[in-house]
């Protein structure tokens, strides 16, 4: 049997086709003849001078050959590129990695993410590719997890396979030392030791509750000194968490006018901001190319170095006066622990310094920013502030300093603190994790060394769990009877093997310090509360609140 292509065309159509092709070939022959005749005629001086003067048309042989060569070369390059892309695509798909947008050589998918708001780009890509997808940020392969199920699987169910730490080039100096940026063999030991020591220092009399209460007195005194005048809360309110962690680490507190403390705090603050800007997102993915260029990454690196120089100095001072029978603080305990491991590689004074720097920076800037953002939110919603005043008056009264036990009787304050942390979404994309071995996840291969990002904003802003995630509503954490309502989606401190070491301390600070401030003061905004803009000024490593000033007016 003949295939449809082999069948002859219908008769009439066939004749027409033959006629048409005969006419066409006649026309072509005539045109060719005309061209040849023209070419054999004596030169037309007018036409030729026009051709000579025209920049793009040349009658000269060698130039024509060059043009032909150029076109051939361009075609060749185009074909080779297509070939390479197709080979790259085949290799890529044969790995069975999670799906994702097609990466370009060198830049990867960086053109597909908004450097001003990478978490938003992740959410957009998750809509297209699903809750587990692959991206190339530069040449770095990154697997992003979006949503409760995927994030929980990585952080809690498969915690060993994903407990590594992805590189953050801005903190290269701290790499494989301390806790946060440590992806080396000492991480487990130092983390375990730090957790137990922080817990020991946090418990009992002279524990964290008393430490925070003591600092709350100094903070209230400093707030009173403003006498109702406008002030920037950044370093004034931030001093309280800074002093709490300084007391634990170094057995010292700084006066509110201490220059050294102000210098350290401003470096913490500057780094948290710069790390959230587009340039640092670029730097952290292309540091190999960008490190030699000028730019704000140099400021971050200089601050990181100066902070470590300070903690190294503190470690050395402690070492000189150390009495092993009577450790004074976390630093003494850490030095003694390092001594036990002396001779083992990695247990160095540098490692002590980086551990202290980690705890000092993380212990100050996170809580300080949360308090500052929280006060701005409360100024925007005076009706919420009013409810808090009432609850404080009912449970604590006007003079006794707030205590941890009050939390059980203060569901509204508890809900507000949770809602502040949910709404501000301080570290939206978490810190990068890394796969410690080749592993499978939801049917996909995740090769060892792949950077894994278990996003936290995808839980905090889940619209099934929180009815109106874009709105600040303490009701997200309250049941119908006004009782505190727990949510398993509340994970601003992450979860699993790398969960924040300071979670307990931070939560205690937020509750006690906010309660103490509102017990004694009314917050007063310098602008109409409705005009307060809560949108962050930078989104990257963190979400940075806008700069603002406020007044605090004594309540009695």
Residue 454: C-alpha distances to residues 358, 450, 482, 492 (Å): 21, 13, 32, 12
Examine residue 458 and tell whether it contacts ligand HEM (CB under 6 A).
Answer: no
CA-to-CA distance for 268 and 459, rounded, in angstroms? 27
At residue 471, φ and ψ (nearest 5 deg) are: -105, 145
Angstrom distance (rounded) from CA 221 to CA 215: 10
Residue 256, exposed/middle/buried by CB under 10 A (0-12, 13-18, 19+)? middle
Phi, psi (degrees; rounded to nearest 5) at 478: -130, 145
Three-class SS state of 346: coil
Q: How far is the CB of 78 from ligand HEM (least distance, A)?
A: 45
Q: Which is nearer to ligand HEM, 98 or 542 (CB)?
A: 542
Contact map string, positions 168 to 207, toward ligand HEM, x by CB under 6 A: -----------xx----------x----------------
Q: Furthest-apart CA pair in the chain: how many Å?
A: 113
Least distance between ligand HEM and beta carbon 475 (Å): 22
For position 330 contacting ligand HEM by CB under 6 A, the verdict is: no
Min dist CB 162 to ligand HEM, Å, is 9
Residue with nearest beta carbon to ligand HEM? 502
Answer yes or no whether residue 498 interacts with ligand HEM by CB under 6 A: yes
Asked whether residue 261 is marked as a ligand-binding residue, the answer is no
Q: Report residue 439 as tokens.
A: 């592993």
- Give residues with Cβ within 8 angstroms of 269, minimum separation 6: 234, 235, 238, 365, 368
Q: Residue 105: helix, strand or coil by DSSP?
A: coil
Q: Which stretch binds ligand HEM (CB under 6 A): 223-231, 398-406, 470-478, 500-508?
A: 500-508
| 249 touching ligand HEM, by CB under 6 A | no
Q: Does 506 help bind ligand HEM (rule: CB under 6 A)? A: yes
In whole angstroms, the minimum distance from the beta carbon of 258 to ligand HEM comes to 20
Whole-number Å distance between alpha carbons of 311 and 178: 12
Q: Report the DSSP beta bridge partners of residue 356.
A: none
Chain position carrying tokens 């071995």:
437
Q: Are 554 and 224 in contact (CB under 8 A)?
A: yes
DSSP annotation of 523 reads E
- Out of 174, 493, 541, 548, the only residue in the binding site for ligand HEM (CB under 6 A) is 493
Alpha carbons 379 and 155: distance in angstroms, whole number: 36
Going 404 to 409 to 415 to 420, the CA torsion angle's sign is negative
* Min separation Cβ 198 and ligand HEM, Å: 6
Nearest to 137 by CA among 97, 174, 100, 89: 100
Based on CB atoms, which residue is closest to ligand HEM, 395 or 516? Answer: 516
Of 430, 455, 458, 525, the residue at the interface with ligand HEM (CB under 6 A) is: 430
Is residue 145 a contact residue for ligand HEM (CB under 6 A)?
no
Query: Is 169 within 8 Å of 140 (Cβ atoms)?
Result: no
In the bound state with ligand HEM, the residue whose beta carbon lies nearer, of 103 and 122, is 122
Say whether residue 502 binds ligand HEM (CB under 6 A).
yes
- Which CB sits closer to ligand HEM, 335 or 500? 500
Convert residues 366-385 into a mask of x (bound to ligand HEM by CB under 6 A) and - (unbound).
xx--x---------------
The distance of closest approach from Cβ of residue 494 to ligand HEM in the complex, given in angstroms and rounded to an integer, is 3
Nearer to ligand HEM, 112 or 251 (CB): 251
Q: Which of 144, 501, 538, 550 binds ligand HEM (CB under 6 A)?
A: 501
- Alpha-carbon distance 158 to 444, whole Å? 14
* Number of residues in the chain: 556
Q: Is 358 in the site for ligand HEM (CB under 6 A)?
A: yes
Under the criterion CB under 6 A, does residue 451 sit at the interface with ligand HEM? Answer: no
Q: How far is the CB of 333 from ligand HEM (least distance, A)?
A: 14
Residue 241 CB, nearest approach to ligand HEM (Å): 7
Considering only 156, 431, 532, 534, the residue that binds ligand HEM (CB under 6 A) is: 431
Which residue is it, tokens 């430490």? 211
- Please report how many Cα atoms fall inside a 13 Å half-sphere around the Cα of residue 144, on the Cβ side: 33
Q: Which of 46-54, 225-233, 497-505, 520-528 is the region at the interface with ligand HEM (rule: CB under 6 A)?
A: 497-505
Chain residues 409-428 in contact with ligand HEM, contact rule CB under 6 A = 426-427
Q: Provide the annotated binding site for heme.
A: 500
Q: Provide the annotated binding site.
A: 500
Q: Which residues bind ligand HEM (CB under 6 A)?
A: 179-180, 191, 245, 358-359, 362-363, 366-367, 370, 426-427, 430-431, 492-494, 498-502, 505-506
């Amino acid at each position: 049997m003949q295939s449809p292509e082999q069948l002859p065309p219908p008769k009439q159509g066939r004749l027409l086709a033959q006629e048409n092709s005969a006419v066409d070939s006649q026309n072509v022959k005539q045109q060719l003849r005309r061209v040849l005749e023209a070419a054999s005629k004596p030169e037309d001086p007018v036409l030729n001078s026009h051709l000579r003067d025209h920049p793009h048309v040349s009658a000269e042989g060698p130039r024509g050959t060059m043009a032909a060569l150029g076109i051939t070369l361009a075609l060749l390059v185009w074909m080779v590129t297509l070939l390479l892309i197709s080979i790259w695509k085949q290799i890529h798909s044969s790995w069975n990695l999670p799906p994702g947008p097609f990466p370009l050589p060198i830049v990867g998918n960086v053109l597909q993410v908004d450097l001003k708001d990478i978490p938003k780009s992740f959410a957009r890509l998750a809509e297209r590719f699903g809750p587990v997808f692959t991206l190339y940020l530069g040449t770095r392969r990154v697997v992003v997890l979006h949503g409760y199920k995927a994030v929980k699987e990585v952080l809690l169910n498969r915690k060993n396979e994903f407990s590594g730490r992805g590189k953050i080039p801005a903190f290269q100096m701290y790499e494989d030392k301390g806790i946060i940026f440590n992806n080396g063999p000492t991480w487990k030991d130092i983390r375990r030791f730090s957790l137990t020591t922080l817990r020991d220092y946090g418990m009992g009399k002279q524990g964290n509750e008393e430490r925070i209460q003591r600092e709350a007195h100094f903070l209230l005194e400093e707030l009173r000194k403003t006498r109702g005048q406008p002030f920037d809360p950044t370093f004034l309110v931030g001093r309280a968490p800074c002093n709490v962690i300084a007391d634990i680490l170094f057995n010292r507190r700084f006066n509110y006018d201490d220059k050294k403390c102000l210098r350290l705090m401003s470096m913490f603050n500057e780094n948290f901001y710069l790390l959230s800007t587009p340039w640092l997102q670029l730097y952290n993915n292309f540091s190999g190319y960008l490190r030699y260029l000028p730019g704000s990454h140099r400021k971050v690196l200089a601050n990181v170095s100066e902070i470590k120089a300070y903690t190294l100095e503190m470690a050395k001072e402690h070492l000189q006066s150390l009495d092993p029978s009577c450790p004074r603080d976390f630093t003494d305990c850490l030095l003694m622990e390092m001594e036990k491991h002396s001779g083992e590689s990695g247990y160095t004074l540098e490692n002590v310094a980086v551990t202290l720097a980690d705890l000092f920076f993380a212990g100050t800037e996170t809580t300080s920013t949360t308090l500052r953002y929280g006060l701005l939110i409360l100024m925007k919603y005076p009706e919420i502030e009013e409810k808090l005043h009432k609850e404080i008056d009912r449970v604590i009264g006007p003079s006794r300093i707030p205590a941890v036990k009050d939390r059980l009787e203060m569901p509204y304050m508890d809900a507000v603190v949770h809602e502040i942390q949910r709404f501000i979404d301080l570290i939206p994309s978490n810190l990068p994790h890394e796969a410690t071995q080749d592993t499978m996840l939801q049917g996909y291969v995740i090769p060892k060394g792949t950077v894994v990002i278990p996003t936290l904003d995808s839980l905090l802003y889940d619209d099934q769990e929180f009815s109106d995630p874009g709105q600040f509503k303490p009701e997200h954490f309250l049941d119908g009877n006004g009782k505190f309502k727990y949510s398993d989606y509340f994970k601003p401190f992450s979860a699993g093997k790398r969960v924040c070491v300071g979670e307990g301390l931070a939560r205690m600070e937020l509750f006690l310090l906010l309660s103490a401030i509102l017990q004694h003061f009314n917050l007063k905004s310098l602008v109409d509360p409705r005009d307060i803009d809560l949108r962050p000024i930078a989104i990257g490593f963190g979400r940075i609140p806008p700069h603002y000033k406020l007044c605090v007016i004594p309540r009695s």
